[in-house]
């Protein structure tokens, strides 16, 4: 079973990468109000049980994939390449 974990800086957390992207987009002539940069992890799980997959992914996020102090995450199934 395939899933995508989306990791974003929490609101209020400084995001220098996002600021750089926003500034560069403006310099290129794009009208943007805000830009934030996060990361994504596509995970191919061996389980095909959706609930089990959700539980495993949450543990992965807590143990490795995110820093819960400064990042929030979202789990999406069936998305991605």
Half-sphere exposure for 28 (CA within 13 Å, toward CB): 8
CB of 34 to a copy of itself, least distance (A): 4
Q: Is 6 in the site for a copy of itself (CB under 8 A)?
A: yes
Give the integer Cα–Cα distance in Å for 39 and 70: 13
| Contact mark string toward a copy of itself, 27..56, x via CB under 8 A | -x-xxxxxxxxxxxxxxxxxx--------x
For tokens 């995508």, the residue is: 4
Binding site residues, a copy of itself, CB under 8 A:
4, 6-8, 11, 18, 21, 24-25, 28, 30-47, 56, 59-60, 63-65, 72, 74, 80-81
């Amino acid at each position: 079973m395939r899933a995508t974990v989306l990791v974003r800086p929490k609101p209020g957390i400084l995001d220098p990468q996002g600021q750089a992207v926003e500034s560069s987009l403006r310099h290129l002539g794009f009208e943007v109000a805000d830009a934030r940069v996060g990361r994504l992890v596509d995970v191919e799980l061996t389980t095909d049980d959706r609930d089990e997959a959700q539980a495993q992914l949450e543990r992965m996020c807590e143990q490795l994939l995110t820093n819960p102090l400064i990042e929030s995450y979202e789990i999406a199934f069936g998305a991605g390449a």
